[in-house]
């Protein structure tokens, strides 16, 4: 009688233990709602919205990102720059350090994204220098590989006096060519409003507003991400104009940019 009771009980314990172990294994294998990634890259030069940030010199760049499966995300990214110190020898800055966060979701081929982006330029600045640090609000919508994004400056834009409210509209897309190669394209429009200081007009709306565009190829090879793109603008880069560097270079002039990076 005792054996008849113990044997079914032992079998039940074994079965329940097996089920519990299977459930625990499934729980352990369940993907986390949190994801972390990093990136590191090297570019022949740093172009942002078509404008040279390193005056044609190479740029080392990298960042870290966090994302939650429900949509929230945050991250930081940095690159060497030279446009501020080139423009004013009294400026001691060689770094752009960005911090951003937002919320994005997708439903099928459709997606949306909204967030805030802070561009920081730590360093030494002369008295009364208008801060280049900038905060932008951005909204984006995507369909498959096509993305339309609008960014709105909540502060003065990159040091332009009285430029709060500047906006940038960006349309970008890619076409898969197979074998890990894609055709990438972009067109953008930067608006910088007219500005005054002390009641004196220092800039008309057309002076620093411009279009930029980019066309090239991206590829994955030997475990790295590669891109070769042609970047150009109609920004005003003549003598005394907005996008002329102190050494006399047109910062919006067309150029080929080669970059290589790794995401981990």
Domain of residue 135, CATH code: 2.40.160.40
Going by C-beta distance under 8 Å and a sequence separation of 6 or more, which residues neighbour residue 193? 162, 163, 165, 166, 205
Same domain? 141 vs 220 = yes
- Please tell me the predicted confidence (pLDDT) of residue 26: 56
Same domain? 147 vs 255 = yes
**Rounded to an integer, what distance in angstroms lies between the CA atom of residue 158 and that of residue 244?**
15
Strand partners, 149: 140, 170
Same domain? 14 vs 141 = no
The residue count for the chain? 264
- Please tell me the predicted confidence (pLDDT) of residue 41: 98
7-24 pLDDT, tens per residue?
A: 444 334 334 455 455 555
167: closest CA among 177, 156, 152? Answer: 152
**Rounded to an integer, what distance in angstroms lies between the CA atom of residue 182 and that of residue 191?**
30
Same domain? 10 vs 56 = no
126-169 pLDDT, tens per residue?
A: 999 999 999 999 999 999 999 999 999 999 999 999 999 999 99
3-state secondary structure of 4: helix
**Rounded to an integer, what distance in angstroms lies between the CA atom of residue 143 and that of residue 253?**
31
Q: How many structural domains does the chain have?
A: 2
Same domain? 133 vs 55 = yes
- Please tell me the predicted confidence (pLDDT) of residue 7: 42
Measure CA 123 to chain center: 22
**Rounded to an integer, what distance in angstroms lies between the CA atom of residue 224 and that of residue 222?**
6
Same domain? 40 vs 23 = no
Residues of the chain with pLDDT under 50: 1-16, 19
- Please tell me the predicted confidence (pLDDT) of residue 30: 78
* Two tokens, residue 203: 């800039």
- Please tell me the predicted confidence (pLDDT) of residue 12: 44
- The DSSP output letter for 92 is B
Angstrom distances, CA of residue 7 to CA of 4, 10, 11, 17: 6, 5, 6, 15
Same domain? 12 vs 61 = no
Identify whether the C-beta of residue 190 lies closer than 8 Å to the C-beta of residue 213: no
Residue-number span of the structural domain to which 47 is assigned: 34-263
Same domain? 147 vs 211 = yes
Same domain? 56 vs 167 = yes
**Rounded to an integer, what distance in angstroms lies between the CA atom of residue 251 and that of residue 247?**
10
């Amino acid at each position: 009688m005792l054996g008849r009771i113990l044997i079914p009980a032992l079998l039940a314990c074994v079965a329940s233990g097996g089920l519990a172990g299977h459930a625990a294994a499934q729980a352990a294998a369940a993907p986390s709602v949190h994801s972390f990634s990093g990136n590191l890259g090297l570019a022949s030069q740093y172009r942002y919205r078509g404008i040279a940030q390193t005056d044609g010199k190479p740029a080392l760049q990298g960042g870290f990102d966090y994302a939650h499966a429900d949509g929230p995300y945050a991250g930081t990214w940095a690159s060497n720059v030279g446009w501020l110190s080139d423009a004013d020898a009294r400026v001691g800055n060689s770094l752009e350090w960005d911090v951003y966060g937002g919320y994005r979701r997708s439903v099928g081929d459709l997606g949306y994204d909204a967030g805030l982006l802070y561009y920081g330029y730590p360093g030494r600045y002369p008295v009364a220098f208008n801060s280049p640090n900038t905060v932008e609000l951005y909204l984006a919508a995507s369909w498959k590989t096509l993305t339309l994004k609008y960014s709105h400056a909540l502060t003065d834009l990159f040091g332009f006096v009285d430029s709060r409210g500047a906006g940038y509209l960006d349309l970008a897309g890619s076409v898969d060519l197979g074998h890990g190669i894609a055709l990438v394209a972009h067109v953008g429009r930067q608006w910088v409003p007219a500005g005054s200081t002390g009641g004196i007009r220092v800039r008309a709306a057309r002076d620093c507003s411009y279009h930029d565009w980019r066309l090239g190829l991206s590829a994955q090879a030997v475990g790295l991400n590669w891109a070769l793109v042609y970047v150009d603008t109609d920004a005003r880069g003549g003598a005394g104009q907005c996008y002329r560097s102190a050494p006399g270079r047109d910062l919006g002039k067309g150029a080929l940019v080669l970059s290589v990076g790794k995401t981990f």
